[in-house]
């Protein structure tokens, strides 16, 4: 699946998008955050406070316990500050 | 009755007068147009701000704004709606966002404009970074914006 990062999550990870293949044990958005955080220092820094991270699956907001099966694109970003 | 909906995300500035004229052109059913412009402030507290840089999530930003537009139209009898959100670098004093709502009577237009802005602030995937004398930093989300959006879900 494709993973995208925005704002300071993007800056901390050091890339705006990538394709990842998490194991089957990674079932929810929260699981994916935990799995990503273990990929290295930059990821650990980006995801050090999981509760502030917002997520979207295929362009729609989702909660941390949402299942990721079937997702084409998952995005992680800080709380939004538009408008 | 057809609601005329325009949603744009662009780097270029917009002209409020021209947008209002386009919204109501050739129509005689509109009795009220409410216009809200969000403008880049030149200061935040004591900190002087030179500019903001707006980042967005292409694809989702349009989809999320469209969902809010649908929600507003199902809640109020709107005749037309325009939402323009700028991205990229926006200097102090420049426009950031425009919301226009049109209805037969003013109450629907006033309420829908406020509803749309409250949701744009908290749910549309845009992020502001501000430039000041100390460098650049990401703007933090405010609790009162969440509270403002939440009041629309209360009965």
- Enumerate the residues of chain A whose CB falls inside 8 A of the CB of residue B96: 83
Q: Which residue of B has its CA nearest to A81?
A: B127
Evaluate whether B104 touches B79 at the Cβ level (below 8 Å).
yes
Indicate the pTM of the whole model.
0.94
Structural domains of chain A in order of their starting residue, each with its CATH number: 2-77 (3.10.20.30)
Structural domains of chain B in order of their starting residue, each with its CATH number: 4-153 (3.90.1170.40)
Q: Of B54, B57, B138, which is closest to A75 when you measure between CB atoms? A: B57
Q: Of A4, A6, A80, which is closest to B123 when you measure between CB atoms? A: A80
- Enumerate the residues of chain B whose CB falls inside 8 A of the CB of residue A8: 138
Q: What value does the mean pLDDT take over residues A47-74?
A: 97
Question: Distance between CA atoms of B76 and B9, rounded to whole angstroms?
Answer: 24
Interface ipTM: 0.95
The predicted-structure confidence for B81-104, as pLDDT tens digits, reads as follows 999 999 999 999 999 999 999 999
CB contact under 8 A, A83 and B126: yes
- Phi, psi for residue A32 in degrees, rounded to 5: -65, -40
The predicted-structure confidence for A22-54, as pLDDT tens digits, reads as follows 999 999 999 999 999 999 999 999 999 999 999
Number of helices (H), then strands (E), belonging to chain A: the values are 3, 5
Question: If pLDDT is split at 50, 70 and 90, which confidence band does B2 have?
Answer: low
> Cα torsion at B57, B63, B64, B70 (round to 10°)?
160
Q: Has residue B1 got a pLDDT over 80?
A: no
Residues with Cβ within 8 Å of A32's Cβ and at least 6 positions away in sequence, in order, are A3, A22, A26, A68, A74
Q: Tell me, what's the pLDDT at B46?
A: 86
- The β-bridge relationship of strands B4-10 and A73-77 is unpaired
DSSP H stretches of helix in A1-83: 7-13, 29-37, 41-46
Q: Tell me, what's the pLDDT at B142?
A: 87
Question: Distance between CA atoms of B155 and B26, rounded to whole angstroms?
Answer: 37
Question: Distance between CA atoms of B4 and B1, rounded to whole angstroms?
Answer: 9
For chain A, what is the radius of gyration of the CA atoms?
Answer: 12
CB contact under 8 A, A81 and B124: no
């Amino acid at each position: 699946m494709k993973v995208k990062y925005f704002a300071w999550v993007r800056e901390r990870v050091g890339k705006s998008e990538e394709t990842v293949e998490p194991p089957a044990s990674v079932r929810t958005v929260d699981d994916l955050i935990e799995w990503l955080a273990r990929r290295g220092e930059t990821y650990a820094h980006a995801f050090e406070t999981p509760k502030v991270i917002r997520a979207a699956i295929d362009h729609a907001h989702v909660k941390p316990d949402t299942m990721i099966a079937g997702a084409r694109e998952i995005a992680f970003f800080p709380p939004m500050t538009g408008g | 009755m057809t609601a005329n909906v325009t949603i744009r995300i662009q780097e270029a500035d917009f002209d409020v007068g021209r947008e209002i004229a386009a919204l109501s052109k050739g129509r005689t059913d509109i009795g009220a147009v409410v216009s809200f412009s969000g403008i880049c402030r030149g200061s935040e507290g004591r900190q002087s701000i030179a500019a903001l840089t707006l980042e967005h999530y292409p694809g989702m930003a349009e989809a999320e704004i469209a969902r809010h537009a649908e929600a507003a139209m199902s809640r109020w009898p709107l005749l037309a709606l325009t939402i323009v959100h700028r991205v990229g670098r926006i200097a102090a004093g420049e426009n950031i966002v425009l919301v226009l709502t049109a209805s037969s009577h003013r109450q629907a237009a006033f309420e829908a404009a406020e509803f749309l802005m409250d949701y744009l602030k908290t749910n549309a995937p845009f992020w502001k970074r501000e430039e000041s004398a100390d460098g650049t930093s990401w703007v933090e989300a405010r609790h009162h914006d969440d509270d403002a959006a939440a009041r629309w879900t209360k009965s």
